């Protein structure tokens, strides 16, 4: 591609063929102009079979790079490889909905002169606005809350990619490091439009779930507060919203059967750091109280799918 594409779709993966191939299909089945976007896949999977499949593809705007990155750092390499005006991370389980590429290109064109920091929240915020414009990082973190931990929402203008090497990256949340540190001053836009469908995440995990979110992530948010970049009210908002998320995780990962591989150890000790033991018990009791409703919904859903 001689001309700079408007959009780079950057897909970091660990060789998960069963997830990545449907994502690629969801992209190219849209029949969008190949000159306007590119697809970049960085693969840190050991003994990956992806090269065999990629080698059979003839898309002129598809690039595949093997890396030796550890864990989540592979997403940084994926973004750095992007050549587009805007480099958007795509989760390797994220099948794009029809029209998603056209919507993303329109998003980039809408803001290409101003070039604010953009986060794609996939419609998870309870807000009727497609574009939530935030003049400061405090208002941005307050509106986005704990969803800023979600790596698939990040995207950066090409001019910001050059700053990545100067940033000290958090090993578990390099995405948050980039989101908060790639610029010291900026306005922000939350694009709250549904653009993807995530595939089943069977087998996902391998890390200490509660230490990662209730300690490491809140350390990052608290660090913003200590440096005066966000206020105490915003920190409290994120902490409060995250607690409800953690309660849901306790139900789905510690109580109900799961096919994921998260490490669930020392949960009380992890909760002690920012919440205290009382909130640990509130979480446990609250999760158990949700159990009958959750089981009932799953039963109804199962019956519906059977007779649909």
Q: 1 in a domain, yes or no?
A: no
Mark whether 129 and 265 lie in a shared domain: no
Mark whether 146 and 264 lie in a shared domain: no
Mark whether 49 and 138 lie in a shared domain: yes
Task: Report if pTM > 0.75.
Answer: yes
In a structure prediction context, what are the per-residue pLDDT tens digits for the chain, which is 308 residues long? 458 999 999 999 998 889 999 999 999 999 999 999 999 999 998 888 999 999 999 999 999 999 988 888 899 999 999 999 999 999 999 999 999 999 999 999 999 999 999 999 999 998 789 999 999 999 999 999 999 999 999 999 999 999 999 999 999 999 999 999 999 889 999 999 999 999 877 667 789 999 999 999 999 999 999 999 999 999 999 999 999 999 999 999 999 888 888 999 999 999 999 999 999 999 999 999 989 777 656 554 443 344 44
Q: 64 in a domain, yes or no?
A: yes
Mark whether 192 and 218 lie in a shared domain: no
Separation between Cα atoms, residue 164 and residue 181, nearest integer Å:
9
Domain C-terminal end among 168, 198, 228: 198
Mark whether 18 and 167 lie in a shared domain: yes
Number of domains in the chain: 2
User: Concatenated DSSP letters for 241-303?
Assistant: HHHHHHHHHIIIIIIS--S-EEE--SHHHHHHHHT-HHHHHHHHHHHHHHHHHHHHHHHHHHH
Mark whether 160 and 215 lie in a shared domain: no
Mark whether 120 and 34 lie in a shared domain: yes
Domain C-terminal end among 156, 181, 198: 198
Identify the domain containing residue 296 by its residue range: 206-307
Mark whether 154 and 223 lie in a shared domain: no
What pLDDT was estimated at residue 204?
75
Mark whether 123 and 232 lie in a shared domain: no
Domain C-terminal end among 135, 166, 198: 198
Strand partners, 160: none
What pLDDT was estimated at residue 206?
85
């Amino acid at each position: 591609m001689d001309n700079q594409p408007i959009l780079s779709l950057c897909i970091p993966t660990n060789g998960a063929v069963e997830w990545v191939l449907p994502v690629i299909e969801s992209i190219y089945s849209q029949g969008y102009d190949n000159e306007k976007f590119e697809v970049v896949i960085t693969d840190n999977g050991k003994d990956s079979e992806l090269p065999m499949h990629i080698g059979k593809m003839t898309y002129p705007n598809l690039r595949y790079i093997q890396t030796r990155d550890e864990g989540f750092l592979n997403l940084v390499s994926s973004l750095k490889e992007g050549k587009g005006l805007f480099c958007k991370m795509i989760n390797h389980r994220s099948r794009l909905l029809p029209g998603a590429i056209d919507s993303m290109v329109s998003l980039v064109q809408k803001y290409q002169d101003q070039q604010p920091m953009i986060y794609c929240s996939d419609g998870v915020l309870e807000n009727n606005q497609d574009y939530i414009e935030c003049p400061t990082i405090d208002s941005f973190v307050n509106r986005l809350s704990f969803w800023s931990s979600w790596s698939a929402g990040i995207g950066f203008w090409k001019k910001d990619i050059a700053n990545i090497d100067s940033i000290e990256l958090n090993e578990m949340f390099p995405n948050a490091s980039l989101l908060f540190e790639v610029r010291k001053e900026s306005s922000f836009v939350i694009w709250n439009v549904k653009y993807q469908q995530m595939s089943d995440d069977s087998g996902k995990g391998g890390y200490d779930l509660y230490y990662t979110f209730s300690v490491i992530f809140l350390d990052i948010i608290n660090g913003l507060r200590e440096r005066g970049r966000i206020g105490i009210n915003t920190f409290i908002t994120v902490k409060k919203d995250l607690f409800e998320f953690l309660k849901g995780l306790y139900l789905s990962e510690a109580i109900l059967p799961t096919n994921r591989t998260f490490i669930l150890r020392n949960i009380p000790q992890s909760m002690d750091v920012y919440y205290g033991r009382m909130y640990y018990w509130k979480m446990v009791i609250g999760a158990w109280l949700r159990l009958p409703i959750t089981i009932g919904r799953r039963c109804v859903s199962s019956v519906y799918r059977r007779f649909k």
